[in-house]
């Protein structure tokens, strides 16, 4: 494992992500981890539920990072592709 000079620093919500996961949109199943942010390789709409339970649509441009605490990415209404959850 490589040396991490920041290993003794506290991790906060504004810290860089430490985990990346492929997101398969699903209308009935929550994500394995709550995200800090979302990234997509193909622009489009992402329909999601946030940590506080609110739901809505976000338009994402390919390659941008959207800082949002999502717990579910819906298949219905999501047109963005290559979605990744960062946590």
| Sign of the torsion angle spanned by Cα atoms 18, 22, 24, 25 | positive
Q: How many residues does the chain have?
A: 87
3 state DSSP class of 71: strand
pLDDT category of residue 12 using cuts at 50, 70 and 90: confident
pTM: 0.89
Task: Give per-residue burial for 62-86: e unless 16+ CB within 10 Å, then b.
Answer: eeeebebebbbbbeeebebeebbbb
pLDDT of residue 26: 98
Average pLDDT over residues 46-64: 97
For residues 72 and 31, is the Cβ–Cβ distance under 8 A? Answer: yes
């Amino acid at each position: 494992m490589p040396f991490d000079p920041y290993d003794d620093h506290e991790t906060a919500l504004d810290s860089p992500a430490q985990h990346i996961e492929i997101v398969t949109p699903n209308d009935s199943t929550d994500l394995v981890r709550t995200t800090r942010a979302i990234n997509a390789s193909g622009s489009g709409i992402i329909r999601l539920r946030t940590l506080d339970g609110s739901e809505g649509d976000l338009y994402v441009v390919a390659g941008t990072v959207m800082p949002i605490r999502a717990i579910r990415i819906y298949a219905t209404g999501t047109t963005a592709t290559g979605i990744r959850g960062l946590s």
